[in-house]
Amino acid sequence: MFAYDTRRFQKIATDLDLPAFRLAQVRHWIYKSFTGDFYEMSNLSSGLRDILASKYYVTNSHVVAAKTGDGSVKLLIQYPDGAKIETVIMGYRDWSSACLSTQVGCAMGCTFCATGPMGLERSLTSEEIAEQLWHCCHYAKVNSLKPIRNIVLMGIGEPLANYHNVVGFIGKANAPELFGIGQRRITLSTVGLVSQILELAQLKLGITLAVSLHAPNDKLRNQIMPISCKYPLQEIVAACRKYTEVTGRRVTYEYLLLEGINDQGSHASELAGLLRGENCLVNLITFNQVPGVSFRPSTNVGSFQRRLAQAGLNATLRRSIGQEIDAACGQLRKGFPE
């Protein structure tokens, strides 16, 4: 791999005795033009292109399959050890967002998620997560899609269970000489790992923290999210309150509505009580069908949202895209279904 770290990038430039303007040219080809072939870097000398091609790759991973539909593209990416993950490009009117995975598999065991039953294979390094972003940017460029402007760390895996690599990736994504994506355009989603939320707060990043609640009380949440037995809701909300105090950033609470499970008026009232007085946004999510899972999408979305609004909470409904290609929220796996 060439470099997804500014210090390593500089070391390569030093080793090759590249002047500053040459280094800037190479960076531009890789991170602005998203060119993966050194021989296409036309303003470099043929000798330098030969050297680069003989010593480095732009990525160690590669896209082995792609599916398109419903305003999104799902890419299947394979790493040198054979591990595979899915990542998604979501198209909007003026830009695209990249939904990235942070682990191969997931240990959280959420009952409504396609990845839940698969378990955790391993975490991804910060460079491997950055390669996903590069592949998304490259695909968007080659296929004339809207450029990648936003990042959501909502793919396969629990980002805060891979804390140091995820924080390292955010630095790479934000670095002006690399991808140059502003921190306010990055959203990190978590089931609510309390100690990591508090640790993340101390970094005072400009990212958006999105916490998956999906239930208004611990008893119900434990049934659909087994990992929540370790993290009571009151502790999660307290950690998020501290996060907002330290960073000045409002927390988003994600709430997946499941028919007859967590979508009744009593649930809305209980959720309003849990979050009363908090500086937050509630993002309601419609359930996307997952094979082997018996949950159904709620038919009470509108009334649930109105109850929250009446209680003084700012509640929005997330637009769902990617269902045609099993790329919507909760549908990602470690490989395309056969």
How far is 33 from 329, CA to CA, in rounded Å?
A: 29
Report which of 40, 86, 41 is spatially closest to residue 63, judged by C-alpha positions.
Answer: 86
Amino acid in position 280: C
CA angle 323, 329, 333 (to 5 degrees): 85
For residues 194 and 184, the answer to whether their CB atoms sit within 8 Å is no
Specify whether 106 is catalytic. no
Select which of 99, 136, 240, 329 is catalytic.
Answer: 329
Select which of 86, 127, 128, 254 is catalytic.
Answer: 86
Backbone angles phi, psi at 68, to 5 degrees: -125, 150
The H or E element that residue 188 is part of is: strand 186-190
In total, the chain counts a number of residues equal to 338
- How distant is the alpha carbon of residue 193 from its chain centre? 16
Specify whether 240 is catalytic. no
Instruction: Spell out the alpha helix ranges (H) of 180-329.
Output: 194-201, 218-224, 233-247, 265-275, 301-310
Radius of gyration of the chain (CA): 21
Report which of 306, 318, 200, 184 is spatially closest to residue 253, judged by C-alpha positions.
Answer: 318
Active-site residues, by number, are 86, 329
